Structure 1
Amino acid sequence: MSLRTLLLTIFALATGPVLADEQLELGKKVFLEQAQPSCTVCHTLNDAGSAGEIGPNLDQLKPSAEQVSNAVKSGVGIMPAFGDSLSEQQISAVAKYIESVTRK
C-alpha cells in the first residue's frame, strides 16, 4: 500500500462519521426548512417532530434512501417533484436522513 493510499484511508476513517453526521444534519434541515413546501406539511416523521397526514407516514413506511431520492426528484401521486428546486446534495442528504431515522 502506498503512503498516499494509506493517508487517504486514514483520512476517510477519521472524517467518515463527521461527514455522515453533517449529511444527516443537512437532510433534516432540508426536510424541515429547505424544501418548499416543507416535507413536514405532508409527512409524519417522529425525528423531525412532524405529523403531516397527506402523504405516507415515513416512520411506518421505512423507505430506502433510493426510494426517497426517486420520490423527491420526480414526485409521486400528489407529491410535487423537487428535482429542479433542490440540489443533488440536498436530495441525497434528505434521502439518507429519512432512511437513517426510520430504520433505527
Structure 2
Amino acid sequence: MMFVKNTLRLLSAAFVVAAAGSVHAADQAVLDEGKTLFNTDAKPMACALCHTLQDAGATGGIGPDLDELKPTREQVQKVMIEGMGAMPSFAATLDEDARNAIADYVVSAVN
C-alpha cells in the first residue's frame, strides 16, 4: 500500500512539473516592453490604434476587443506574423523578441 501511495505521489509531482514547464512566464521587463510596443512603438502601427485592451487603456474599434477574445500567446504570435483581415503582418517590422513581448503582454493582460 505504501508503495502505491509513493508511486502516485511521484507521478503527481512529475505531472505538475511537466505542466509547469509548458507554461510560458514572462518577466516584468518583457511585459513592460510589450505594453509600450502595444501602445505606441509597434510598426507599421501601434496595436492600440485598432484593438481594445483595458490594461493598456486602448479603445480601438477596428480589430477585435482583446479583453473579450482572450487570445493565446500562439494566436497573437501567428496573427502578428501572418496578418489577418485588415491587420498587416509585423514580421518585417518587428523582430521576434518584440513580437514575443507583445504576445506575452496581451496574454498577461487578458488573463
TM-score when scaled to structure 2?
Answer: 0.74
1:14-72 deviation per Cα after TM superposition (whole angstroms, max 9, x unaligned): xxx8x700010011011011113111110000011010000000000000011001111
Unaligned runs of 5+ in 2: 1-24
Instruction: Choose the corresponding residue for 1:82, options 80, 90, 94.
Output: 90
Counterpart of 2:4 in structure 1 is: none
Shift of 1:95: 0.2
Is 1:51 the counterpart of 2:33 in the alignment? no
Aligned length: 86
Aligned equivalents of 2:76, 2:94: Cα separation in 1: 13
Is 1:29 the counterpart of 2:31 in the alignment? no
Aligned equivalents of 2:41, 2:83: Cα separation in 1: 16
Unaligned runs of 5+ in 1: 1-16
Is 1:98 the counterpart of 2:106 in the alignment? yes
Runs of 4+ in 1 over 6 A off after TM superposition: none
Identity of aligned residues (%): 42
